[in-house]
Amino acid sequence: MTFIYGVDYYPEHWPVARWATDAKLMQEAGMNLVRLAEFAWARLEPRQDLYDFDWLDRAIDLMAEHGIDVILGTPTASPPPWLMAQDPTLFRVNEEGRRLTYGHRRAYCPNHPLYQMHTERIVTVMARRYAGHPAVVGLQIDNEFGDRCYCDICRGAFHGWLAERYDSLHEMNERWGTAFWSHIYTDWEMIPTPVATVAPHNPGLALDYNRFCSDSYVRYQRLQIERLRQYCPDRQRITHNFMGFGYPNINYFDLARDLDFVTWDAYWRHQWNMGNPAQASNMALSHDTMRGLKQQTFWVMEQQSGPGGWELVSESPKPGQLRLWAYNAIAHGADGIVFFRWRTARHGAEQYWHGILDHHGEPGRRYHEVVQMGQEMQDIGDAIVGAQTQADVAMILSYDSRFAFQIQANNPSFNHSAHFQEIYHTLHERQVTVDIVPPDADLTPYRLAIAPALHVVPEEVADNLRRFVDGGGILVLTARSGVKDETNTVVDAKLPGLFADLCGVTVSEYVSLAPHAQTQVTFAEPVAGLPATVAVSVWCDVLEVDGAEVLARYTEDYYAGKPAVTLNHYGKGQVLYVGTLSAPIYEVLTPLLLNLAGVQPVFTAPADVEVTVRHRDGRRLFFLLNHAAELRTVTLAGTYTDLLAEGKTVTDAVDLDPYGVCILTDLP
């Protein structure tokens, strides 16, 4: 197995005369893979049933001549005009009920039979043609799935989806509680899509619709996989390019299930994030999530190669950052880095989404940085590829809960993903390795499991967590956990519902704080050196203990003295319940938790130095990444080989340049 180092290439955007220059420059940069064709439908099928694959054959062959393999994208994310002109209902309807028009991409309805027919056709033709091509090593389905459609075809498909999910219309009405506001449906046909209107929709309907939209893309992807696999051998591995932790519209665990491996598109600087670019811990969380989808190493299919932008040009990556960010992916389990994109497009909506080369095509500082890393990958890539991550800590990501919070945020300052990120951040800055797992994952490998606001809780999930604790695990649950059953109904029991026995507490009442309002909690026995009192915002569960020990209490207002954080012994394990959704408390709680679970950092390092470890063949690979603009020093616990310094031995400490990277390994 070889470490993948490549780039997304669009030969159809450039004169054929230029292709050889590009291939040569790629080869000189140490690249061994390109992704091709994922937006090239119009060039592959200029008119219906009239195919032109010659140019693609030529491009693939040229790459092969330069020792570069190919991932082919199915081009369904961006259909040609002739296709979309066949029926206006091919276009997606957005949440405001407005039908899209031609002029961009991802505008199709994934449930449209006509679109599915065209999809099957183009995918079949591609599969037949390239199944036997030795340079074609993989296939990417479509591109960045996910926008929800609210059209009438989806509405009809939703009715079928519901009819499969519920035994009867009567059962659905009961589960959704449609007696409320007289929404009792007497025919499946009457059920609406939850288009944005004057008031919130029934939460049961709205959650099911979010699930249905997710399933629609899972099904649409499966339709493509089935066609491809009729012709393509297993050596041509099938993937899709995901969008990291933050993407909210698809249950990524479901989407990953049918794929051979996961890839994703890792952008640190976006036009829509000007002035507030992604932090290392957020990117780390995304990498860990992507690794967790199939519990295996992954690729970055679009690794940022310059400022990103559509109407706006984002902030520029500074010298060293492109390489640093690529190593950040590797540090968290990437076995492939594919940059997006080779050369900045001179035309089209992404004119300012910068490639390795600028519009003018001459190699510049970004190219040279990519070349440097290409050489490093040729030196050390073989030592990295396939190495595994081992974590003592799992964080539980529930897409059902995320979908539910999209419908009811509970508090204006609460965001489920941000809450998850804030807790992850406190682990990341302590150099703790984390796995991201679904609520039904086998938790036995972990000492500590954290379930932030695990809101929608089927019985099986409650059982799964109970088993984990019973067997000796440490579990953390935070406020708004256990509130809803599978149909988004509030449980008929004191909160945290199915978790109440596990936690040894009930919520006697909850207090939703206004924006900017604060209160505080005091810990009875804080970790040495940490403050006893912490400000709290957003949300306060006022707890009543039923067996649990009180770790911290509120100190203000009418619930002063009431428990805020509790610890319960259950079976061989322990359960921490955190009655607030506020972030600063984790500065105190996370050290306490790590102590409790006996979890150690990889190395102790400054908070802005990221340290991870991957394991292969009994040796450890330590990744030390300096995200600061200044030099940083990391104290070592022993003596290691410095892989990027031609195997030099380091001991005691290592200095990291600004944006510098160091990879250490155990002495042989």
- Compare residues 91 and 253 and give the one whose CB is closer to its own copies: 91
Instruction: Return the residue of 107, 127, 395, 643 that touches its own copies, per CB under 8 A.
Output: 107
- Asked if 610 is an active-site residue, the reply is no
45, 144, 369, 486: which is the annotated catalytic residue? Answer: 144
Assess 58 for contact with its own copies (CB under 8 A): no
Are the C-beta atoms of residues 543 and 505 closer than 8 Å to each other?
yes
Assess 624 for contact with its own copies (CB under 8 A): no
Minimum separation from the CB atom of position 535 to its own copies (A): 17
In the DSSP assignment, the letter for residue 625 is E
Assess 508 for contact with its own copies (CB under 8 A): yes
* Rounded distance between C-alpha atoms, residue 323 and residue 45, angstroms: 37
Q: Tell me whether strands 393-396 and 334-340 are parallel, antiparallel or unpaired.
A: unpaired
38, 302, 376, 429: which is the annotated catalytic residue? Answer: 302
Q: Residues 397 to 426: which contact its own copies by CB under 8 A?
A: 407-412
- Asked if 315 is an active-site residue, the reply is no
Instruction: Specify the DSSP element, H or E, that contains 448.
Output: strand 448-451
Phi, psi of 377 (to 5 degrees): -65, -35
Instruction: Return the residue of 28, 120, 258, 315 that touches its own copies, per CB under 8 A.
Output: 315
What are the tokens at 216? 């629609």
- Compare residues 351 and 378 and give the one whose CB is closer to its own copies: 351
Instruction: Return the residue of 64, 125, 184, 644 that touches its own copies, per CB under 8 A.
Output: 184
Q: Tell me whether strands 505-512 and 539-545 are parallel, antiparallel or unpaired.
A: antiparallel
Are the C-beta atoms of residues 261 and 290 closer than 8 Å to each other?
no
Q: How many CB atoms lie within 10 A of CB 174?
A: 16
Assess 558 for contact with its own copies (CB under 8 A): yes
Q: Residues 473 to 492: which contact its own copies by CB under 8 A?
A: 489-492
- Compare residues 222 and 247 and give the one whose CB is closer to its own copies: 247
Assess 350 for contact with its own copies (CB under 8 A): yes
Assess 110 for contact with its own copies (CB under 8 A): no
Q: Tell me whether strands 539-545 and 136-140 are parallel, antiparallel or unpaired.
A: unpaired
Instruction: Provide the residue type at 502 as one letter.
Output: L
Assess 348 for contact with its own copies (CB under 8 A): yes
- Compare residues 1 and 199 and give the one whose CB is closer to its own copies: 199
Region near its own copies per CB under 8 A, out of 295-303, 342-350, 388-396, 469-477: 342-350
Q: Residues 135 to 174: which contact its own copies by CB under 8 A?
A: 147
Phi, psi of 33 (to 5 degrees): -155, 140
Instruction: Return the residue of 17, 54, 182, 618 that touches its own copies, per CB under 8 A.
Output: 182
Are the C-beta atoms of residues 91 and 146 closer than 8 Å to each other?
no
Q: Residues 284 to 313: which contact its own copies by CB under 8 A?
A: 307, 309-313
Minimum separation from the CB atom of position 612 to its own copies (A): 26
Residue 638-667 contact track with its own copies, rule CB under 8 A, x = bound: ------------------------------
Could you give the angle at which helices 416-428 and 586-597 cross, rounded to 10 degrees? Answer: 60
Q: Residues 515 to 554: which contact its own copies by CB under 8 A?
A: 515-517
Measured over the CA atoms of residue 114, residue 115, residue 118 and residue 120, the dihedral's sign is: negative
* Rounded distance between C-alpha atoms, residue 645 and residue 518, angstroms: 50
What are the tokens at 459? 């019985």
Are the C-beta atoms of residues 341 and 305 closer than 8 Å to each other?
yes
In the DSSP assignment, the letter for residue 208 is H
- Point out the residues that are catalytic: 144, 302
